Chains A and B, each alone.
Chain A
Amino acid sequence: MVGLVVVSHSERAAEGIAEVAAEMAGDTRIEPVGGDGRGGIGTVPDAIEAAIDDADDGDGVVVLVDLGSAVMNADVAVELSDAEAVIADAPVLEGAVNAAVAATDPSATLDSVREQAEAARGMEKL
């Protein structure tokens, strides 16, 4: 099953987003990761890499990211990780919910889950 990692500058935001997505996720692994490792705002590539490894059961991992350096740090983590992982170019919460739903499809692939996450870019709320 394709796993998910939610990366935010705030550890609590990552946990909260993972919590929302988990409502729709069935058995999908969703690993939240965030914060600078010192209790502050930021992201750390090593922590993201560990989250990717935790979320991977062999079918790959889609990584959802918030802003700025979180994208770069996730990019470094994806490159360092032995797991097959891709970053979705999507809003982090909406993308995580979409990806969680997509991952429950028995025929889901890394690409299909990423595509569904990225489909959240066009979601209108009003």
Chain B
Amino acid sequence: MSGEEDGEAASAGEATDGAAVVAAVEAVADRFESERDHLTELDSAIGDADHGGNMARGWAAAAEAARDLDDPDPQAVCRTVGKTLMAEVGGASGPLFGGSFVFASAELDDGVTAESAVAFAETYLEKVEDRGDARVGDQTVVDALTPAVHTFKKSVETDDLPPLEALAKAVDAAERGVAFTVPIRARKGRASYLGWRSVGHQDPGATSALFILEELLATAADALDSEVPDVDATSPTIPDEAPEETAGDGDGDATPEDED
């Protein structure tokens, strides 16, 4: 992530940006390798237990493809990552995580600036929502992405925060979004077949989105030679749109079964 305010200064640093994006992809790949079992455990509770393996395999391939690029500008890296994820990650995570990368990469024509990062994030979220027909409260990746993207946009455009701080706030928002998936009932994806039994479980897709954002933040801090900023977590970041129905109506089946 480039910290420059104006486009000209940012484009001067494009080569570095590309390398930083490759570094971020490698960090994400390492993270998914180490979280493979954790994600599979989450997915075995409410899905088909393949999310950890799929993401680890997909991101390892994506990191390799990104390393192999001759001209790793940010747009080319994101497009390659998306294409590779679409080809390597099975199930809905391929088009949701990977396809959205491909389409959002169109926003990076002029490299990565705070503004293009906001546009990228918004397009990414829009693609995931439309493709999966999911909204906040459905216990999906959208529950992590929506607050993260809205928080990032507000931090950059309204609060005028430096990009690294904006990203740190987005990660914090995603973290709370992931926590938000635990008490609610799944209405999309395979977990939705479980009905109330999905209550009490953390969504694996939302968790994966958080991992990606956390590694992006760590890599951005590295690239800018800064510490990861502390964020003030007191302001609520879950968006206003309330889910149509709320969990916690006292259904007896809603006992969490997270213990191993």
A residues in contact (CB < 8 Å) with B: 36-37, 40, 42, 44-46, 68-69, 72-73, 75-76, 79-80
Contacts and interface: CB of A to CB of B under 8 A. Distances in A.
Nearest to B102: A80
Q: For this complex, into which size category does the number of interface residues on chain B fall?
A: 10 to 19
Interface class of chain A by DSSP: helix
Interface class of chain B by DSSP: helix
Kindly list the 4 A-B residue pairs having the minimum CB-CB distance in the complex, ordered from nearest.
A76-B99, A72-B95, A69-B92, A76-B95
B177 interface: no
Interface of B: 83, 86-87, 90-92, 94-96, 99, 102-103, 131-132
B86 A72 contact: no
10 contacts: A37-B87, A44-B86, A44-B87, A45-B99, A46-B87, A69-B91, A69-B94, A69-B95, A73-B99, A76-B86
B91 A42 contact: yes
A116 B90 CA distance: 31
Given A45-B95, A45-B99, A75 B86 contact: no
A36 B53 CA distance: 15
Contacts of B131: 72, 75-76
Contacts of A36: 90
Contacts of A37: 87
Nearest to B131: A72
Contacts of B91: 42, 68-69
Contacts of B83: 46
Contacts of B95: 45, 69, 72-73, 75-76
A76 B101 CA distance: 11
A36 B92 CA distance: 12
A38 to B, nearest CB: 9
Contacts of B132: 72
